[in-house]
Amino acid sequence: MERRCKLIAVFPGTFDPITNGHLDIIKRGRQLVNELIVGIGRNPEKRMIFTPEERVEMIRELVAGMENVRVEDYEGLTFEFAQAMNAKVIIRGIRDTLDLRSELQTANTNLIVGNVETVFLMTSDQYALTSSTLIKQIVDLGGYDPERLSRLVPLSVAQRLRRRLDELAAERESAADW
């Protein structure tokens, strides 16, 4: 009889902010593995609104009660993080063919360089057009309607995002006054 090992997967991203689409991938991904680690990474090409610590806190609150999910912050290459966590798999959500093209390149690199497989999960239809960047733009440009935004992000995240963008706007105003 074959003995199966514990399968650990990493779901990496910047999650700035986490969306309902991300949560959907977490909920579905956790059913496929023994342990799912949500890896809060850094992307120097993106302008972050929340600190890594704030993103970890937000996501931990949202996944509380999901026994096989934990949230960790990391710096550096995703395949190195996966290796450090003893993960054999990276889970990625795919929204469209543009995602697939870039994710395939990354997945192949992670396999060649890090010997870590990637499993793609298609996003659910209602989240196919959702992105953290788009949500930040909507709120930043005055489109804060908690009821409508809660279709895209959890209400607690929408509230935090509004507060943070208000703080950043106040800081910009204060700096302009100098």
Q: Give the residue numbers annotated as catalytic, written as ranges.
A: 22, 46, 95, 132
H-assigned helices in the chain: 20-29, 52-63, 78-84, 97-114, 132-140, 146-149, 155-177
Instruction: Tell me how far CA of residue 68 lies from CA of 29, 59, 71, in angstroms.
Output: 10, 14, 10
In angstroms, the CA 95 to CA 101 distance is 11
